[in-house]
Chains A and B, each alone.
Chain A
């Protein structure tokens, strides 16, 4: 059974770049069964898709965030990563990584436990 675990800094300075990593266990990130996604949830608010990357390395981003995002694979470590630049207080959120599967690879499951990122000086 595939499991995911996020890691990264809990505090980021305004204008800096956030770097998060998601470690996948129980399966290979290049197996073709999943795309690999990042989703965030501001405190007390709803879910926002950030973007995802395919098992072959093709990336797809939320149009509202695309200029600030990079998602990449590290096949040697079975991990994928998120970089989000020019951070502001509005980027404060719980950041989740998730596998994206299903018939047409649009079903977000499983999810990691999430990691809280606070943007503050």
Chain B
């Protein structure tokens, strides 16, 4: 299966942005979805795990959700800061494979 993300999104500081991740086959709610943030030159770090859980240290401006009707997951970032500018990847799995989405470049301008 594949996970499809928009290539890029942009929004202004203080606003809210939502990044989608659509699963091509298999039900999105059968397997957990994770979201990773990757700043230039750095390793990915988790912002959301198990659909909607935040690791300690990740602000509550970051939230995750699942929509069974569209077979997709979403990452929502509210109160955007310039520091949120990064690439964001969703990730999920099935019985035989781990799959990352293609990544979304978030620009905060």
Most B-side CB within 10 Å, residue of A52, A106, A112: A106
Stretch in contact with the other chain, from A41-49, A75-83, A85-93:
A41-49
Which B25-82 residues sit within 8 Å CB-CB of chain A? Answer: 31-32, 34, 36, 43-46, 49-50, 55
Which B62-109 residues sit within 8 Å CB-CB of chain A? Answer: 89, 91-93, 96-103
Residue of B nearest to A107 (CB): B49
Residue of B nearest to A4 (CB): B43
A interface bracket (residues with beta carbon within 8 Å of B): 20 to 34
Interface string of A41-78 (1 = CB under 8 A from B): 00000111100100000001011000000000000000
Q: How far is the CA of A48 from the CA of B97 in the complex (A)?
A: 11
Q: Which of A46, A107, A113, A114 contacts B100 (CB 8 A)?
A: A46
Q: Which of A47, A102, A114 contacts B50 (CB 8 A)?
A: A102
Q: How far is the CA of A37 from the CA of B55 in the complex (A)?
A: 20
Identify the B interface with A (CB < 8 A): 31-32, 34, 36, 43-46, 49-50, 55, 89, 91-93, 96-103
Interface string of A91-115 (1 = CB under 8 A from B): 0000010000011101111011110
- Interface pairs (5), CB distance under 8 Å: A37-B98, A47-B36, A102-B50, A103-B32, A108-B34
Q: Are B97 and A49 in contact (CB under 8 A)?
A: yes
Q: Are A49 and B98 in contact (CB under 8 A)?
A: yes
A104 CB, nearest partner CB in chain B, Å: 7
Q: Are B46 and A106 in contact (CB under 8 A)?
A: no
Which A19-52 residues sit within 8 Å CB-CB of chain B? Answer: 37, 39, 46-49, 52
Given contacts A46-B100, A63-B96, A103-B32, 17 further A-B contacts (CB under 8 A): A46-B89, A47-B100, A52-B98, A96-B43, A102-B32, A102-B50, A106-B31, A106-B32, A106-B34, A106-B93, A106-B98, A107-B50, A108-B34, A108-B36, A108-B46, A108-B91, A109-B46
Residue of B nearest to A39 (CB): B100
B86 CB, nearest partner CB in chain A, Å: 13
B91 CB, nearest partner CB in chain A, Å: 7
Cβ contacts under 8 Å, A46 to chain B? 89, 100-103
